Amino acid sequence: MGILLFGAAKDIAGVPVLDKPEHITDVATLKAWLYEVYPSLQQLRSVMIAVNRTYAADTQEISSQDEIAVIPPVSGG
């Protein structure tokens, strides 16, 4: 399953979905990879990762079966 992108993160990447590289097995590694590939993400106030529709800590492991999403600062309401 790919990595879903929303809001400013989608605009920075230029696509709504990214393929997850094989070597990424936890949230911290995913964030490091995202910041390396898309340095502009570091300018956002925050970047959260959701795993299976729940906010995930950096230590959380991820597998290719998980639904992963990049969540820039939310601005609903």
- Residues forming contacts to another protein in the complex (CB under 8 A) are 4, 6-8, 50, 53-55, 69, 71-72, 74-77
The alpha carbons of the chain give a radius of gyration, in whole angstroms, of 11
Comparison of 24 and 69: residue with beta carbon closer to another protein: 69
Comparison of 23 and 40: residue with beta carbon closer to another protein: 40
Contacts of 26 (CB under 8 A, 6+ apart): 58, 59, 60, 61, 62
CB atoms within 10 A of CB 49: 21
Comparison of 57 and 74: residue with beta carbon closer to another protein: 74
- Run of H or E residues at 12: helix 7-13
Q: Closest separation between CB of residue 73 and another protein, Å?
A: 8
Q: Closest separation between CB of residue 76 and another protein, Å?
A: 3
